[in-house]
Chains A and B, each alone.
Chain A
């Protein structure tokens, strides 16, 4: 069942040049004027991380004339998010609802889409399939590409060849970032390994700091992370004299000495395309996703921690990704020795969205 689903989506994605697809069944808005858009955030809009990245980019929508934006933050992934969306639809008259947290999708946004067929719902994760309601959709940036570039630069900026990764939870998008970071590092420095520590939660500042210290104590001299707010990890590593790669937004100012580069989303590309569609009276596509080739992710400006060779290799890697050079090549094994890449996969292949393993070269376990 999963196989056929993947096939559908693969074909679906292949037909797209910029990976921005206009859904055939998307409802054409009568006119751009008088549209209320509801945006739901899982944390505070100014968390200096995931939510803020969305909130800043979503300002593009506010600039469209006739568009009213209502926002609610700190909405947990329970029926509270369904109720919030329903409240936006019923009380604010929202015609478009954007949910920005993974756990909103199923069952909540799927249920909302079924219940309110005249409302368009879009969700920030690559989860929509053509089998889901047509008034629902996904948008997503493949940040692992930028983490790959981080890895390339880090591989040439490390002395100990041990890189550390502080991760929140072993979910597919996090695992993909870890694996891509490792593959990037290996591509520029074959003796590099990545040590991962899972904190078990998205925002756990004390444990994130402890994890960073533990990695440095274990000999890692480059630290990166995938947690909601990377500030603590970056600052702790800087204090310990380790180099850092950022996540979500630019943390360059936090680490004047050791910052290498960082992986950043460019949600603005997506929200801007939504804004343009609305202004032009066009339907919103069901699926908007992409990486470097679609200008949906980026790397932070290189910092003092990056060696000149690292910068050069990273820039070459970016050019490669823009030309869709694949990251996951045939024959790669997980860190238990099983071959998990039976062939070379396109960077946007849905198979990669199902990732539930750490590749060889990563020290760590997902359970």
Chain B
């Protein structure tokens, strides 16, 4: 690979991480909160899709993309609240309800989204972190959207809150041991309901990024499994909000490898380059797992890891 080709690939990967990671980030953060409280919501793929559609539709009608972002969050919160309410009933399995909610959310989004496939809605603006360098390549690679920064801020805030606040402690307790939380007078059901609802809100915002920024369009194939993957990334990030951010960035960067290599003429075996995010994640998991540390981080009440 020549120097310039190397530079192209390098900047494409950095740029890819910044462009592609945000939806993974928001969904993973939402799921992280939900799982910390002891519940699993596998349906965030549906939430992501519904959020994307809602954001696009609201931005189109109102002309304000940020109103679309907020509406996307609300639609996600509604789905999250539904999930939270249903799973609070005894004997109901949260994993299964999540999968059914994924169908439901996707169905609603596709149904009402038909009218918005063609129109062009106002999108979110971006700014460049690299404009000061005066280098075109760097400036484009470092084009970012405020939502990326919001996501990072939410992650840091969440990490701080889990460690240092009463609310954080309550959520963690509900997730680690329901009997202990109940003994302390905490309503486990309420904590989980709220966590799932807010988790849905975050996932909905992630959807808004997809339709209003990157790729910045609404259609039925928009997500193609990103929500499901993001939920899985939470396990990879071992339930730490900050590690969720790192995982999302890593995953986004790996996703840019395939197109970037093809653009500099390395084209053989592009299926494997395109699968790089999955291969890399698996390899890292195999390399890093098996430690006692991994087990320590698991919320004790989680149905998916029991």
Would A and B touch once assembled, by the CB under 8 A criterion? yes
- Judge whether B267 and A229 touch: CB under 8 Å: no
Cβ–Cβ < 8 Å partners of A235 in chain B: 120, 215-217
Cβ–Cβ < 8 Å partners of A203 in chain B: 219-221, 224
- Judge whether A209 and B214 touch: CB under 8 Å: yes
Distance between Cα atoms of A232 and B214 in the complex (Å): 9
A190-228 interface mask toward B, CB cutoff 8 Å, 1 = contact, 0 = none?
A: 000001111111011111111101110110000000001
A44 within 8 A of B: yes
Distance between Cα atoms of A229 and B270 in the complex (Å): 21
- Enumerate B100-143 residues with CB–CB distance to A below 8 Å: 110, 114, 117-118, 120, 137, 140-141
Cβ–Cβ < 8 Å partners of A364 in chain B: 262, 265, 267
User: B110, B255, B270: which contacts A44 (Cβ < 8 A)?
Assistant: B110
Given contacts A48-B219, A197-B262, contact A204 B270 (CB under 8 A): no
CB distance from B6 to the nearest CB of A (A): 12
**In this complex, which of A48, A211, A213, A367 has the most chain B Cβ atoms within 10 angstroms of its Cβ?**
A213
Closest to A43 in B: B220
Distance between Cα atoms of A236 and B217 in the complex (Å): 10
Cβ–Cβ < 8 Å partners of A229 in chain B: 219, 221
- Judge whether B137 and A199 touch: CB under 8 Å: no
- Judge whether A200 and B259 touch: CB under 8 Å: no
- Judge whether A47 and B219 touch: CB under 8 Å: yes
Cβ–Cβ < 8 Å partners of B260 in chain A: 214, 217
Cβ–Cβ < 8 Å partners of A205 in chain B: 210, 215, 217, 219, 221-222, 224
Given contacts A197-B259, A198-B270, A365-B268, contact A213 B12 (CB under 8 A): yes
Distance between Cα atoms of A198 and B268 in the complex (Å): 11
- Enumerate B1-59 residues with CB–CB distance to A below 8 Å: 8, 11-12, 15-16, 19-20
Distance between Cα atoms of A196 and B210 in the complex (Å): 25
- Judge whether B269 and A207 touch: CB under 8 Å: no
CB distance from A174 to the nearest CB of B (A): 14
Closest to B221 in A: A203
Closest to A195 in B: B263
Closest to B262 in A: A197
Closest to A233 in B: B215
User: B117, B137, B216: which contacts A236 (Cβ < 8 A)?
Assistant: B216
Closest to A201 in B: B224
Q: Is the interface of A mostly helix, strand, loop or mixed?
A: mixed
Given contacts A205-B222, A367-B268, contact A253 B12 (CB under 8 A): no
User: B214, B217, B262: which contacts A211 (Cβ < 8 A)?
Assistant: B262
Cβ–Cβ < 8 Å partners of B141 in chain A: 217
B67 within 8 A of A: no
A225-248 interface mask toward B, CB cutoff 8 Å, 1 = contact, 0 = none?
A: 000110110011001100000000
Cβ–Cβ < 8 Å partners of A33 in chain B: none
Cβ–Cβ < 8 Å partners of B281 in chain A: none
B264 within 8 A of A: yes
- Judge whether B221 and A199 touch: CB under 8 Å: no
- Enumerate B202-246 residues with CB–CB distance to A below 8 Å: 210, 214-217, 219-222, 224, 226
- Judge whether B263 and A206 touch: CB under 8 Å: no
B256 within 8 A of A: yes
CB distance from A24 to the nearest CB of B (A): 42
Distance between Cα atoms of A54 and B92 in the complex (Å): 44
Closest to B20 in A: A206
CB distance from B77 to the nearest CB of A (A): 24
A46 within 8 A of B: yes
Cβ–Cβ < 8 Å partners of B268 in chain A: 365, 367
Distance between Cα atoms of A209 and B214 in the complex (Å): 8
CB distance from B18 to the nearest CB of A (A): 11
A5 within 8 A of B: no
B177 within 8 A of A: no
- Judge whether B216 and A214 touch: CB under 8 Å: no
Cβ–Cβ < 8 Å partners of A231 in chain B: 217, 219
CB distance from B290 to the nearest CB of A (A): 32
CB distance from A248 to the nearest CB of B (A): 13
Cβ–Cβ < 8 Å partners of A218 in chain B: 8, 263-264
Cβ–Cβ < 8 Å partners of B11 in chain A: 217
Cβ–Cβ < 8 Å partners of B140 in chain A: 217, 240
A171 within 8 A of B: no
CB distance from B306 to the nearest CB of A (A): 33
- Judge whether B221 and A207 touch: CB under 8 Å: no
Distance between Cα atoms of A367 and B266 in the complex (Å): 11
Given contacts A209-B215, A217-B140, A236-B215, contact A204 B221 (CB under 8 A): yes
- Enumerate A125-184 residues with CB–CB distance to B below 8 Å: 164
A67 within 8 A of B: no
Closest to A204 in B: B224
Given contacts A44-B110, A218-B263, A365-B268, contact A206 B117 (CB under 8 A): no
B98 within 8 A of A: no
CB distance from B5 to the nearest CB of A (A): 8
- Judge whether B219 and A200 touch: CB under 8 Å: no
Cβ–Cβ < 8 Å partners of B217 in chain A: 205, 231-232, 235
Q: A204-B224, A210-B255, A211-B259 are in contact. List 14 more A-B contacts (CB 8 A).
A: A47-B219, A195-B263, A198-B267, A198-B270, A203-B219, A205-B210, A206-B215, A206-B222, A215-B263, A231-B219, A236-B215, A253-B120, A363-B267, A365-B268
Q: List 28 A-B contacts (CB under 8 A).
A: A43-B220, A44-B220, A195-B265, A196-B267, A197-B263, A197-B270, A199-B259, A200-B274, A203-B224, A204-B224, A205-B221, A205-B224, A206-B20, A206-B210, A206-B215, A206-B226, A207-B274, A209-B214, A213-B259, A214-B259, A214-B262, A214-B263, A217-B8, A217-B260, A218-B264, A229-B221, A254-B120, A365-B268
Residues on B facing A (Cβ under 8 Å): 8, 11-12, 15-16, 19-20, 110, 114, 117-118, 120, 137, 140-141, 210, 214-217, 219-222, 224, 226, 255-256, 258-260, 262-265, 267-271, 274
Residues on A facing B (Cβ under 8 Å): 43-44, 46-48, 164, 195-201, 203-211, 213-215, 217-218, 228-229, 231-232, 235-236, 239-240, 253-254, 363-365, 367
Closest 8 CB pairs of A and B: A203-B221, A365-B267, A209-B215, A214-B263, A214-B259, A218-B263, A211-B259, A197-B262
